[in-house]
Structure 1
Amino acid sequence: MSEFNEFDQQGSVPNRETGSIISHAFEMYKGVFGYGVVAMIVYLLGGYVIQLIFGVDSASMVEEMRSSGGKFNYWSMPGVPLYTGTSWLFGLLLSPLYVGLIYMVNKYNTKTPIEFSDLFIGYRQNFVNILIYSFLSGIISLIALALCVLPVIFVYPLLLIGYPILLFENASATDALKKSFNIAKENYGIFLLTAFLGMLISVAGVILCGIGIILTAPFMMIVMYSTYCAFLGKPRQIMYNKEI
């Protein structure tokens, strides 16, 4: 038990400022970089397999969009409706990996040894609520996106710390939404700028011929953790039963 307390006393917490949170996230990402890449490879490989199953050729789709003069109908492409629904379901089922990466970051921050199996803690702890939260936040984002791209940018900060709340507080999906919303609402300027910079860095990999997204996309999960630490304090290291 003394070892557990020792780990809890270690680790850093950023100030409630965007610069401090992003800097903290960079420091944390160094420790889990490889695991973040693994999570992204799993996600991209799954998406590629789904494309093959439904016969969707994303390269030719992009080419058609360029040559259509703005008259491209995405839903008329063969296999696209089924592919879109299956991809969404696949993304939903992989959302516990986000929680796993956040769990690993906290272990790195508290100087606790990290194991590969930690990446899958979201499938063992609070799994149903993680799925429900991912579903609800996805619906909220889709509604905002339907209104225009801009509302998504303003809505996303309200969801920023939902996953850490689900993990460290074992909260229900609705409680995680409410708590994330309330804290973000009270500190909206910081949350907005932090989420914007986090997303900007996460998609920066597209510049490197697209493949760089594997390296940068997981950064957003680390931003969520650092933001949680800044406003709710460094969480205690949680323990879980590795046997399913």
Structure 2
Amino acid sequence: MKSTLNQIEEIKNNGYNIDFSEVFTNTFENYKKIAIYAGLILLVISILSFFLGGGIFASIYGVENFNKEFLESLQKQEPTPEMLLIYTAVIVGLTAIFGPFSAGFLKMADCAEKDQSFNFSTIFTYYKAPYFSRIFIASLLISLLTGLISVGLNFIGITFIDTLLSLGISLFTSLTIPLIIFGNLNTTDAIKSSIIIVSKQPVVIALLLIVAFIGSLVGFIGCCIGVVFTIPITYSVKYAIYSAIIGIENQDSIDSIGQSDWE
């Protein structure tokens, strides 16, 4: 099989064909296999994050101030440049740290597709070398770029363009992590390759991601807690898109495993 970079070069020169209905069908079939298990993991993590976040918030502002009036006053405050920068730094840091965690759901989708067993520890598969540093740096760079653009546009009051640019960056870098964990590309090659792939079929890929996003929102109907069981469809669609375009081989069959993060 050709290396991932050779495939990317062919895509750059000749493009590729992707069947919306086929990818959507594969997405749904994969999602059915991981929905319950992935949803339970997301539920546990969400509960733990809620209590952890609440504890940090209470320790900063004081438990006695943690009431409805205080929260309403925070919402009415106009964000200062310093607050925006701090908020951006926190979001960027969390995104980078949890990047390998998100990659674990793609691994779960891969196991389900190959009828291999998976469990809770599968989510932490990529918190190890060489994947952690690649995913961390890629997530850091992408979220940092998005955050800085957002802060800059908020300073001048152009929030609508901010949203469009953020969505655009998210779209064109959406295959970065799959390219790292399945294609064994380094950070820079993965980001560049994702942009190349998406730029050849942006409408089809955008529609697939939009449909998956809408599907994930179905969990809000009736009981909001159900959203944790619909969110995994976004990982299934990225897996299905990558599989349809590049294909996925066993990890030990990929020759580029020895690349450094910045090669």
Q: How many angstroms apart in 1 are the aligned matches of 2:85 and 2:68?
A: 17
- The one of 22, 29, 32 aligned to 2:34: 32
Name the residue aligned to 1:97: 101
Residues 34 and 112, structure 2, Cα contact 8 Å, conserved in 1: yes
| Secondary structure at 1:33 match in 2 | helix
- The C-alpha deviation readout for 1:19-63, integer Å capped at 9, x for no partner, is 322221111011122332244235422244123212279994897
- Give yes or no for the alignment of 1:184 onto 2:198: yes
Name the residue aligned to 2:218: 204
- The C-alpha deviation readout for 1:98-136, integer Å capped at 9, x for no partner, is 111111211211222324322211112410111111112
Name the residue aligned to 1:195: 209
Residues 24 and 226, structure 1, Cα contact 8 Å, conserved in 2: yes
Q: How many angstroms apart in 2 are the aligned matches of 1:84 and 1:103?
A: 28
- The one of 122, 130, 133 aligned to 1:128: 133
Q: How many angstroms apart in 2 are the aligned matches of 1:52 and 1:95?
A: 23
Quote how far apart the aligned CAs of 1:179 are: 0.5
Q: Which runs of 5+ in 1 are unaligned?
A: 1-14, 240-244
Q: 1:58 to 1:144 in 2, by over 3 A?
A: farther
Name the residue aligned to 1:41: 43
Q: How many angstroms apart in 2 are the aligned matches of 1:62 and 1:105?
A: 42
Identity %: 22
- Give yes or no for the alignment of 1:114 onto 2:128: no
Q: TM-score, normalised by structure 1?
A: 0.75
Bigger mean CA deviation after superposition, 131-140 or 149-158: 149-158
Name the residue aligned to 2:56: 53
- Matched residue type, 1:130: I
Residues 21 and 226, structure 1, Cα contact 8 Å, conserved in 2: yes
Q: 1:83 to 1:138 in 2, by over 3 A?
A: closer
Q: Which runs of 5+ in 2 are unaligned?
A: 1-16, 154-160, 253-263
Name the residue aligned to 1:11: none
- CA RMSD for the aligned pairs? 3.3
- The one of 234, 239, 244 aligned to 1:220: 234
Q: How many angstroms apart in 2 are the aligned matches of 1:210 and 1:62?
A: 25
- The C-alpha deviation readout for 1:196-230, integer Å capped at 9, x for no partner, is 22222223323444322211222211111111011
Quote how far apart the aligned CAs of 1:158 are: 0.6
- Matched residue type, 2:114: T
Q: 1:82 to 1:143 in 2, by over 3 A?
A: closer
In terms of Rg, which structure is larger? 2
Q: TM-score, normalised by structure 2?
A: 0.70
Aligned residues: 218
Q: How many angstroms apart in 1 are the aligned matches of 2:70 and 2:213?
A: 23
Residues 54 and 80, structure 1, Cα contact 8 Å, conserved in 2: no
